[in-house]
Amino acid sequence: MKIGSHVSFAKKGLLAAAEEAISYGSTTFMVYTGAPQNTVRKPMSEQFVDEGWALARAHGIDEIVVHAPYIINLASPNDDTFRLAVEFLQQEIERTAVLGAREIVVHPGAYTDRDPAYGIRRIVEGLNEVLSVPGEVRIALETMAGKGTEVGRTFEEIAAIIDGVRHPERLSVCFDTCHVHDAGYDLVGDLDGVLEAFDRIIGLERLSVVHLNDSKNPRGAAKDRHAPVGSGWIGYGAIEAVVRHPALAGRPFILETPWIGLDKKAQRPMYEVEIALLSGTLRRRFGAAFCDDVERLAAFFARQGFEPRKTVLDFWTASRAKGADRREPMERLYVLAREAGFGEGLSEEALNHRLIAYFATAARPLAALCAG
């Protein structure tokens, strides 16, 4: 199983990215070639590519993914924005090739003051120009949540783009769990049906990357707000089912879950524990004492009348009421545990790791989660 995290280049390029990914226990990872909000890029000769791959391969990593910056908008009716998108995406593809990655994930784009049909035509126009330059790197169109005027909220929109380009063999798809859920597809109750629809409309052979994210909103909300695995409306069980689904075997699974913590300056990602849970290596990674802590934590919450999955959904539902407590489920449970004296001597990150494992017990018994 290839499962890893989104990481940054930092000062030592791919070497820094590999070091960070390995620290989480990743067996693959995803990078931007620079800041995702701008076009500032260092020469690839300064990105420690050979050193990064040497370290990655030494830890069993043989595939990485690149994500294009958010500023690329191939659906834009503004000519300057469109030209920037085409030209910068071509450059990003060149950088992706130098990095030795086969896929670059791209948000299809937003049509602003036009309509979806215009947006699709514009994206096809842009991709045809981008792909007029020969190469091996494929563009993975990401499934989108339906926020604003973004294109790609349905499988049909993605299929229409692929059908319109002159080089469809250069296109693949990135399946984002939060986005698909927020767009209205039922990952929780009908994962098989969702994947069958994807196969019928697009073709599972095109699905090349999976982004793993829980969602802070109920199905169909069209919001695109990621949550740590198990702390949102999708839940650990559904995300684990995605990772273990035979139709998705062999794909790289990339976590994009948010960094969390009460101290905003010291927030940390939950990648390490999320990877350990989903890959079945929790006990090996964290030790028997970790599992004992989770058992005590679960017992404490049970005495408060809490059940992991129901509590998460109840907290999210209640937070929508006027004047309600707006804190997210993880934060509320973290504060309750600390006030009760739980986790003395543990860092905020360490206690949050245990909360993630507690959420997972809604889908699998703790003994099963701690078996590996």
pLDDT tens-digit readout, 12-39: 999 999 999 999 999 999 999 998 888 8
CATH of domain 3-258: 3.20.20.150
C-beta of residue 95 within 8 angstroms of C-beta of residue 134? no
pLDDT tier at 355 (50, 70, 90 boundaries)?
very high
Averaged pLDDT for residues 263-288: 96
pLDDT in tens, 48-87: 999 999 999 999 999 999 999 999 999 999 999 999 999 9
Q: Rounded distance, CA 3 to CA 54, Å?
A: 19
Kindly give the pairing relationship between strand 226-227 and strand 214-215.
Answer: antiparallel
- Please, which residues have CB within 8 angstroms of residue 183's CB and are 6 or more apart in sequence? 143, 144, 145, 146, 153, 154, 220, 222
Pick from 225, 204, 207: which is nearest to 215 by CA?
A: 225
pLDDT value at residue 3: 98
- CB count in 10 Å sphere of residue 292: 12
pLDDT value at residue 39: 87
For the question of whether the overall pTM of this predicted structure is more than 0.95, the answer is: yes
Distances (CA, A) of 252 to 146, 208, 210: 24, 7, 6
pLDDT at 263 over 90: no
Is 87 within any annotated ligand binding site? no
Is 92 within any annotated ligand binding site? no
Is 205 within any annotated ligand binding site? no
pLDDT value at residue 106: 98
CATH 3.20.20.150 location in the chain? 3-258
Q: Rounded distance, CA 186 to CA 174, Å?
A: 17
Is 167 within any annotated ligand binding site? no
* Alpha helix (H) residue ranges in 165-215: 177-182, 191-201
User: Which amino acid, 83?
Assistant: R
Measured on CA atoms in the order 337, 341, 342, 346, is the torsion positive or negative? positive
Measured on CA atoms in the order 65, 70, 76, 81, is the torsion positive or negative? negative
Is 176 within any annotated ligand binding site? yes
Task: Name the percent of the chain lying above pLDDT 90.
Answer: 94
pLDDT at 10 over 90: no
User: Which amino acid, 332?
Assistant: R
pLDDT value at residue 179: 98
Averaged pLDDT for residues 301-327: 94
Where would I find the beta strands (DSSP E) of the chain? Answer: 2-7, 29-31, 64-67, 103-106, 138-142, 171-176, 207-212, 214-215, 226-227, 252-255
Is 272 within any annotated ligand binding site? no
Identify the residue whose tokens are 């300057």.
Answer: 80
Is 256 within any annotated ligand binding site? yes
pLDDT in tens, 119-159: 999 999 999 999 999 999 999 999 999 999 999 999 999 99
φ and ψ at 307, to 5 degrees?
A: -125, 130
pLDDT at 117 over 90: yes
Task: Name the percent of the chain lying above pLDDT 70.
Answer: 100
Locate 95 and state its tokens: 């950088």
Say whether 181 sits in a helix, a strand or coil.
helix
Q: What is the dihedral of CA 237, 194, 75, 96, to 10 degrees?
A: 60
pLDDT tier at 264 (50, 70, 90 boundaries)?
confident
Identify the residue whose tokens are 């999976």.
Answer: 210
pLDDT in tens, 191-249: 999 999 999 999 999 999 999 999 999 999 999 999 999 999 999 999 999 999 999 99
pLDDT at 315 over 90: yes
Residue 288 CB-density burial (10 A; 0-12 exposed, 13-18 middle, 19+ buried): exposed
